[in-house]
Amino acid sequence: MSNSTIKDKQGLTEEQFLEQYDVSKYDRPSVTVDMLILTIMDEEKENYRKLPEKKLKLLLIKRGEHPYIGQWALPGGFVGVNESIDAAAIRELKSETNIDNIYMEQLYTWGDPGRDPRTRVISCSYMALVDSTALKIKAGDDAADAAWFEFKYKIVQEHRTELEKGHQLERLIKIELVNELATLTATVKVTETVKNRSTRYSREIVDSQGIAFDHAVMMEYAIERLRNKLEYTDLAFSLVPELFTLTELQKVYEVILGKELLAAAFRRKIANMVIETEQYTRDAGHRPSQLFRFNPNWRYEK
């Protein structure tokens, strides 16, 4: 694909050029990956009849080193010089969850100077979705400093400013991360600017309590992406076991979207994404529920 015969201004062929190319000449930032590892877990049942409530959980690591020592951060690490970014993400994921074959997707690359006090660090964020029943080792066992936090997300304020040719909408979003160990909070301001025939979004941290770096913005971004893609992809199935009930699946949608859905409409909507099995739940304290599995061909069937 490359061209090996043409010479440049110095009269070098591509081969010669590459030989004399001095890598150290240019200043370079560090590149890291940061992982948003999400799962859905069941809470304790209130009583023998009720179904367990489902909660969205995020995996965080307590920092044992500067900077942000003692605060909680997304798992992540440096991208190796001979490692692809995806490979670095998969490596981090594996080291935290001990599962392969997880749904994983690149989200966004964050690179404001000053986002890491050590040096210039550019971070590529990834979202991974895990079926919590498949977690072989629970976070917290091997790594005493890793823990799942319940992820809460709420729009607390909206403020609109009229502009000459459009407007600006500022939303304050409160993120709360809760478990037995700690409660972390952050407020992220998402600004939507509609001007000159186009809409632009920007995010900044207003306040961050106990969350390291700019990780709160990454969390806000991730949940928005998750909510969006839930509606038109098969992403939800990464969060449930191989066999699941439709009510379970519905609750996954509900906890992510933050609103209740009507069972009839929901079932119609996901009808061709699932295949029924002959199996049913038992000992439920109420009518048993049929178990379904994911239909990998849902996009190609009517």
Partner DNA sequence: TCAATAGTGTCTATTAGACAGTATACC
Partner DNA sequence: GGTATACTGTCTAATAGACACTATTGA
| Residues of this chain, 226-265, that bind a second copy according to CB under 8 A | 233-235, 237-238, 240, 242
17 binds a second copy (CB under 8 A): yes
136 binds a second copy (CB under 8 A): no
Supply φ then ψ for residue 70, to 5 degrees. 85, -15
Residue among 59, 124, 217, 226 that touches a second copy (CB under 8 A) = 124
Residue 56 near residue 38 (C-beta atoms within 8 A): yes
Q: Which is nearer to DNA, 21 or 48 (CB)?
A: 48
Provide the minimum distance between the beta carbon of 234 and DNA in the complex, in angstroms, as a whole number. 15
73 binds a second copy (CB under 8 A): no
Provide the minimum distance between the beta carbon of 244 and a second copy in the complex, in angstroms, as a whole number. 10
Q: Which is nearer to a second copy, 129 or 147 (CB)?
A: 129
- Dihedral of CA 135/147/117/190: which sign? positive
- Around Cβ 208, how many Cβ atoms within 10 Å? 20
Residues 6+ apart with CB under 8 A from 224: none
Lookup: tokens for 175: 């993120």
Lookup: tokens for 62: 């307590």
Given DNA, a second copy, none, residue 282, with its beta carbon under 5 to 8 Å by kind, binds DNA
Provide the minimum distance between the beta carbon of 78 and a second copy in the complex, in angstroms, as a whole number. 7
Residues lying near DNA in the complex (CB under 7 A)? 47-51, 245-247, 262-265, 267-269, 280-290
Q: Which is nearer to DNA, 15 or 46 (CB)?
A: 46
Given a second copy, DNA, none, residue 284, with its beta carbon under 5 to 8 Å by kind, binds DNA
Given a second copy, DNA, none, residue 47, with its beta carbon under 5 to 8 Å by kind, binds DNA
Give all strands (DSSP E) within the chain, no chain letters. 30-42, 54-62, 72-73, 76-78, 103-110, 121-130, 146-163, 166-178, 183-195, 198-209, 244-245, 274-280, 290-294
What DSSP designation does 26 have? S
Site for a second copy in 77-116 (CB under 8 A): 78-79, 81-86, 101-104, 106, 108-113
Closest CA to 284 of 29, 11, 49, 14: 49
Provide the minimum distance between the beta carbon of 12 and DNA in the complex, in angstroms, as a whole number. 53
